[in-house]
Each structure stands twice: as C-alpha cells, then as structure tokens.
Chains A and B, each alone.
Chain A
Amino acid sequence: MSNLLARPEIEIELTEAGTIGDVERPLSLIERIVTNETFQRFAILVTLLVIWEVYARWLNNSLLFPTFTETITTFWHDIRNGTLVNRTITSLRTLAIGYTLGLLIAGVFTTFAVASGIGTRILSTLTAMFNPLPAIALLPLALIWFGLGTPSIVFVIIHSVLWAVALNTLSGFRSVPETLRMGGRNVGLKGARYVGLILIPAAFPSILAGLKIGWAFAWRTLVAAELVFGVSARSGGIGWYIFEARNELDTATVFAGLLTVILIGLLVESVIFRAIEARTVNLWGMQQ
C-alpha cells in the first residue's frame, strides 16, 4: 500500500509539434484526384469501355458485338436525327402517367390502411399477394382488357409501382416513433393533417426508398412491355426502338438503345433521387 503511494507523479512538457512534422499537410493534387470518388468511378467506367472496345475489335463481328465507337456513333446519329429522342420521350411520357397514377393509388390505399386496423390487414394481404406477381405476367391480361397500346402499358406500370410503394409507405408509417405521434396528437392534429404533417415526413426515408424501388420496377416493366408490343398508334418507345433494330439485325442500334436505358436509369437514380435525398433525409439527419 505504501509502495503505491510512494510512486512519483508524472508531468510532461509538450514538445513542439513542428519537430515531429507537419500536423496538417495539404494533399498533393495527384493524391486528391486519385482518392476522389467521382474520379474512381470515372476510371472504372473508362476501363470497362476500353475492354469493350478492344474485345469488339478483336472479335471483329459487328453483327454479334459492335465496338464502343460504333455504338456511340449510332447513338449520336439517332439523337441528332431525333429518332432516339422521340422514342425516349414517348417512353418517359407513358412512364410518368403510370408512375403518377401508381403513386396516387398507393397514397389512397395507405391512407385507408393507417386509418383502421382492418385497413392495414387488407393492404398487407393485397401486397403479399400482388407484390411477387411480375408485372409482365399481367401483360396478356392487360392486352385482353385494354387492347394494344399505351393503356395496357400504363396498367402494368401501375401494378409494378403500386405495391412496392404501398408496402414501404405502410411500414414507414407503422415505424413512426410513438413520441412523434403523441407530439402531434398533443397539439390536436387529426385525420389528414396528422398524416400530412406528422406521418409522411416522419416516414419519409421509407417512402423515398419505396419511390426508388417503384421507379426501378416501373422503368424495367416499361422497357420490357414495349419490347413485347411497343408500337402504339403513333410511335413506339425505347423498347420498340430496340426491338425494331433487332429485327433489322442492326446490333449497334440495339446497343445504343440499351445504352439509353442505362443512362436514363443512372440519371434518375444519381441526379433526381440523390437531389431529393440531399434536400430531405440527409439534411434532417434521418439517414447517415
């Protein structure tokens, strides 16, 4: 015991940090570029494109596998003469109609579902039944009901959006913390104002996830449905563009069509949804 007490106390003068080295050193330009995420993604992309180009040239069979340069030339050509732009606009218009209707119906369904216990049960049962049902599998039925054309495609898009969004929104509503609910009721909120002012913003991370999944489903379904019967009265969409090109064995155009599908997917995901996230859930600290 006395031994413990007898130990000397220690106090150390801090040495100048300068003798150890820079406490903070700015990274060199190269270091900064190499660690930049955008740069890394870009580098991966370039590598893939180079592999594509080299492989296609080595294969030397543009019917099976056109080179990147061929694809991009066709892509650029079809954008300049307006074909690809028109087709894309047709597709996006159909998508917008289907997506919006799907969201509206999902909104109505979930509002009824949160209003009562039996509503919740009805919606969970419906979602469990229809969510696993591929939208494309409904296409023959849609053809019988709505005939060949946009209404059929809108129908299958609604189906693909509705259940994903409804499921996510409902689970989001149900996981809103009790304190936030009580806080809302404390100031006398009821009915639609309660849903709009408390439940929707509080469940926004799940709702946003639902919107993203719904978008991806809708886009996939749209392109697939157009591939099966793209041509409506006026003009077909991007899926029809791909299908047409395949019939003419114009593989470079098929590739250009696929490239467009990928680009639009990327754009919506990384620009539109990223922007919504940055302005909402990230700003509010509800995510990350």
Chain B
Amino acid sequence: MNATVRATAPQTPPSAASALLDVSGVTLQYKTPRHLVTATYRVSFNVHQGDRYVILGPSGCGKSTMLKAVGGFMSPVEGSISIRGRKVDGPGPDRMMVFQEFEQLMPWKTVFGNVLFPMKATKKFPRGEAEARANSVIEKVGLSKFKDIYPHMLSGGMKMRVAIARAMALEPDILLMDEPFAALDALTRRSMQQELLSLWDQLRFTVMFVTHSIEEAVLVGSRVLVLSPHPGRVRAELDASQLDYDAVDKPEFGAMTKRIHDLLFAEPQAAAAKKASVST
C-alpha cells in the first residue's frame, strides 16, 4: 500500500521556478476532538503572477484548508509551500487573506483606519507614506467619499472593496480569498463578482480564490484547480481566462461547466472503472 502511494507521488511541474506560488506535494491534516482528518492529499500546483487562480471543489475537499496553509495558518504534514522562492512558515503580510463576508474589517476603525491598519501594524511604510497610500488605494476602489465611515454602515459590495483595498495597500505578493461571496444572495453575489473583476482589470493583482460554485469559478477565475473530495486531490487544472460574463451564453461556457461538473461528480464511476481495469 505504502509503496504504491510513493509511486504516485506528485511530480513537480517544470514551470515551478517561474511561478509566484509553488505548492508541491502538500498533505494537510487537522485534528477534531475525535478524529484526525486528512484535508488534502499530495496536492501540487503553481500560481503565476496576475492569475485569478480558483480552487474549486465540493465541501470536504480541503480547499479552505489549502488556502489557510498558503496563508501560513497551518503547516503541511508533508510537501512544501513557497512564495517567490521563500518557504511559507507562518502568517505574513506578503499573503493577505480576505475572508468570507469581509468580517475581518475592524468595526472600531473607519474605512481609512482599516486600510491604514495593516501598513501601520507591519511598519512596512513610514507613517506619512502609509497615509498617502491608504488615500490613493481608497480612491482607486472608489470609496473616497466614505473614508470616515465605520464598516457597519457600508453595503456588502463596499465592504468587499475596503477589504481588497486594505489588502492591496500592503502590496502583497498574492491575495487569498476564502469563499468571499458564499453568504450573499444571488443578485449581490453577481454584482460583487463583477466588481472583483473590474478591480482586477484596474489593479492586476494576483488572487487565489476558493469557491464551491462551478459557475463562479469559471466566471471569476482565469485558471481553475478542480479538487476531488475526501481527501482533496488534484483532479484537473483548467484554463478559464477566456470565459467571463460576455461568454455566459456561448457554448464554450456551457462546455466548460459541463466538463468541470463531470470531473467533480462522475468521479465514482471513473474510479470504479479504473479499479476494474487495474484488477483485470
């Protein structure tokens, strides 16, 4: 058993050297009070500069755990994660996390205070420069008028823009978003996806994005990593850079979602077939 597992150990893709983020052979485990859960098993992938990299999978495929590991909030049992050649061994401002519903905005600080906070906390910029950067990034996301407002008075879309502005101001290497739109209603969700895309058009940041919606993955992502559940293993990595809102009614879009759907849900039969072919 062990031998076969070793034999299927992942091969590092040749492009690893040029990649921004290199995840190779990462197995993640966490403890619940009663069990040791393996969330992902030997997952490898590369994220390049300017990617909108989406990790897609059904619940229980360890996608959020994967994102946390990249964020440095948990360390892999085996394999390694490195960003620009540096090994990830803890949370750091080079990988800014943006959480579900943007709850990480601090209710006790204004929009300006929230954007300024990471720069002050990390002392990456001198005070005057930090304030100037905060102002300019707030302007870029179009919230200058709401600078002195507290987060509880903002709409969901505005909160997202603040959360992104807050992360962008630090000039992180990568932005990590954990199912940012999961708790929203369908209409808000759609407008937020568009908002994210138009922000990306302006700022061209690198973002890694976790979702369980196939449609969202194809629309928002430029590359889609499909994970299988229990534990998460790489099923495919697809190119979705040509498919955005204008492509929703094109056959390519349907074909892509169908393909991902099959990758995710046709797995049991495929695995069964494979098993059968191996045994004969």
Known contacts A188-B91, A189-B121; is-contact A183 B150 (Cβ 8 Å):
no
Chain B 129-157 interface mask (CB, 8 Å, partner A; 1/0): 00000000000000000000011110000
- B122 and A180 contact, CB distance less than 8 A: no
The stretch from B103-111, B233-241, B243-251 touching chain A is B103-111
**A201: nearest chain-B partner, CB-CB:** B108
Cβ of B118 under 8 Å from chain A: yes
Q: From the candidates B118, B150, B153, name the one contacting A187 in the complex (CB within 8 A).
A: B118
* CA of A193 to CA of B71, assembled, Å: 20
Cβ of A122 under 8 Å from chain B: no
- B108 and A183 contact, CB distance less than 8 A: no
- A188 and B153 contact, CB distance less than 8 A: no
Number of interface residues of A (CB under 8 A): 22
Query: How many residue pairs bridge A and B at CB < 8 Å?
Result: 66
Known contacts A179-B100, A182-B97, A284-B152; is-contact A187 B122 (Cβ 8 Å):
yes
- B100 and A283 contact, CB distance less than 8 A: no
Cβ of B92 under 8 Å from chain A: yes
Cβ of A223 under 8 Å from chain B: no
- A283 and B150 contact, CB distance less than 8 A: yes
- B121 and A197 contact, CB distance less than 8 A: yes
- B93 and A183 contact, CB distance less than 8 A: no
Cβ of B30 under 8 Å from chain A: no
Known contacts A188-B121, A201-B108; is-contact A183 B97 (Cβ 8 Å):
yes
- A188 and B122 contact, CB distance less than 8 A: yes
- B93 and A188 contact, CB distance less than 8 A: yes
- Residues from chain B with Cβ under 8 Å of A180 in the complex: 103-104, 106
* CA of A84 to CA of B99, assembled, Å: 57
Cβ of B117 under 8 Å from chain A: yes
Cβ of B265 under 8 Å from chain A: no
- B103 and A185 contact, CB distance less than 8 A: no
Cβ of B26 under 8 Å from chain A: no
- With a 10 A CB-CB cut-off, give which of A186, A188, A284 has the most chain B CB atoms: A186
* CA of A201 to CA of B107, assembled, Å: 9
- Residues from chain A with Cβ under 8 Å of B103 in the complex: 177, 179-180
**B104: nearest chain-A partner, CB-CB:** A183
* CA of A283 to CA of B108, assembled, Å: 8
- Residues from chain B with Cβ under 8 Å of A155 in the complex: none
Give B59-107 interface residues, CB cut-off 8 Å to A.
71, 73, 91-93, 95-97, 99-100, 103-104, 106-107
Give A251-275 interface residues, CB cut-off 8 Å to B.
none
- Residues from chain B with Cβ under 8 Å of A283 in the complex: 150
**A180: nearest chain-B partner, CB-CB:** B104
- Residues from chain B with Cβ under 8 Å of A8 in the complex: none
- B93 and A201 contact, CB distance less than 8 A: no
Shortest distance from the beta carbon of B214 to any chain A beta carbon, whole Å: 26
- Residues from chain A with Cβ under 8 Å of B96 in the complex: 186
Shortest distance from the beta carbon of A178 to any chain B beta carbon, whole Å: 9
- B99 and A179 contact, CB distance less than 8 A: yes
* CA of A186 to CA of B174, assembled, Å: 13
Cβ of A68 under 8 Å from chain B: no
- A186 and B106 contact, CB distance less than 8 A: no
- Residues from chain B with Cβ under 8 Å of A202 in the complex: 106-108
- Residues from chain B with Cβ under 8 Å of A184 in the complex: 121
Chain A 108-125 interface mask (CB, 8 Å, partner B; 1/0): 000000000000000000
- A284 and B97 contact, CB distance less than 8 A: no
* CA of A280 to CA of B109, assembled, Å: 10
* CA of A204 to CA of B99, assembled, Å: 22
* CA of A204 to CA of B170, assembled, Å: 27
Cβ of A191 under 8 Å from chain B: no
- A183 and B122 contact, CB distance less than 8 A: no
- Residues from chain A with Cβ under 8 Å of B99 in the complex: 179, 182-183
- Residues from chain B with Cβ under 8 Å of A201 in the complex: 106, 108
15 residue pairs of the A-B complex, CB under 8 angstroms, read: A179-B99, A179-B104, A182-B99, A183-B106, A184-B121, A186-B92, A186-B97, A188-B92, A188-B93, A197-B121, A201-B108, A202-B107, A284-B108, A284-B150, A284-B152
In the A-B complex, the 10 residue pairs with the smallest Cβ-Cβ separation, listed nearest first, are A285-B152, A183-B104, A179-B103, A179-B99, A201-B108, A187-B121, A187-B118, A284-B107, A284-B108, A185-B91
Residues of B whose CB lies within 8 Å of any CB of A are 71, 73, 91-93, 95-97, 99-100, 103-104, 106-108, 117-118, 121-122, 150-153, 170
Taking A182-B104, A183-B106 as known contacts, 6 extra A-B pairs with beta carbons closer than 8 A to each other, sorted by chain A number, are A182-B99, A186-B92, A186-B93, A186-B104, A188-B92, A204-B108
